[in-house]
Structure 1
């Protein structure tokens, strides 16, 4: 089983016990306002998402990690790697993403987890380039991207929802 420890976090595969806390995160309109059309997800949609994330691990050898706080064992959300199928114009690509519960914002957890996932992508999985995609105006996510050393690659329009997206990227030669 793939696990990564950082000073404060455990990045690990998903368990049944993660469904309720992740469903709570996905039900928060403040968390979800930057994702897809901004709609919250119900527990069934969250369960289906976790199942898809686990299948991506099996199919691709990478995926979205559950992010657990080492100090308390709480599920903070996720970070990790996925293929952004929804955005064909950036393919082939692997995206790094994250989603944390509101109570975990502003404490550096997203940057800490994403840095570990980026290192996993470039060093462990041998990827030579990683992108990150955010809805334009999502300053918090774009700040994490900059902390990772990513640079703006392009701005495009979401093919389904029509809002502007920023695509940041980093390749192995830029990673330090």
Structure 2
């Protein structure tokens, strides 16, 4: 099922055929630069199962993304229920991960904008959060371009304190603030 379409993208249900390119995406050191490490095929498979289970439980999740031009899988954009220990959780998080060849084309900004509109207007979210390592300037730019507001920095509880990825930034947007 296709949930969302933009002028260049389709955000859709996952298919088992996505598992192989999803595994390549998660094994790419450039793509995973702002994460603690790359993911093995087994770890990607577990992540895939989590994504599918969130769709079954909540009716939304991280949508598989493909280009309309050639229906090529380029990654994911969508929602996740963040529940780690923090003063802003549990919350609805918007997140994305695209393969390197898709970077710099505005796909993340375009897909996030469509997701936010869908989340507020169709799914009935009142607000959405996003967070990333403070050093991840490209993702912070996507948040800003989509009208998200900086809230604070925080130490991510699942990342070692001595890691350069520990310091995270939190962004937030409320319904109607992006329309």
TM-score (norm: length of structure 2) = 0.93
Structural mapping, 1:27-38, within 5 Å: 27-35=27-35, 37=36
Which of the numbers 145, 167, 170 marks the counterpart of 2:170? 167
CA–CA distance in 2 between the matches of 1:113 and 1:83? Answer: 18
The equivalent position to 1:94 in structure 2, one of 85, 92, 99, is 92
- The residue aligned with 1:139 is 137
SS of alignment partner, residue 131 of structure 1: strand
SS in 2 for 1:174: coil
Shift of 1:48: 1.1
- 1:55 aligned partner: 53
Deviation of 1:59 (Å): 0.7
TM-score normalized by structure 1?
A: 0.95
Aligned to 2:4: 4
Q: Which runs of 5+ in 1 are unaligned?
A: none
Q: Distance in 2 between matches of 1:78 and 1:160?
A: 22
Pick from 39, 43, 46: which aligns with 2:44? Answer: 46
Distance, in Å, in 1 between the alignment partners of 2:120 and 2:2 is: 15
Q: What whole-Å deviation, never above 9, does each CA across 1:124-171 have from its counterpart, x for those lacking one?
A: 100010000111110000000011100101110011213101010000
* 2:155 matches 1:157: yes
How many angstroms apart in 2 are the aligned matches of 1:87 and 1:68? Answer: 33
Moved over 2 A (4+): 86-89
Q: Which stretch has the larger CA shift, 95-104 or 39-48? A: 39-48
Report deviation, 1:175.
Answer: 2.1
Secondary structure of residue in 2 paired with 1:94: strand
Aligned to 1:82: 80
Determine helix, strand or coil for the equivalent of 2:31.
helix
Determine helix, strand or coil for the equivalent of 1:47.
Answer: helix
The C-alpha deviation readout for 1:59-108, integer Å capped at 9, x for no partner, is 11210000001111111100000011234321131000000000100000
List runs of 5+ in structure 2 lacking aligned partners. Answer: none
Greater shift, 58-67 or 84-93, is seen at: 84-93
State the superposition RMSD in angstroms.
Answer: 1.1
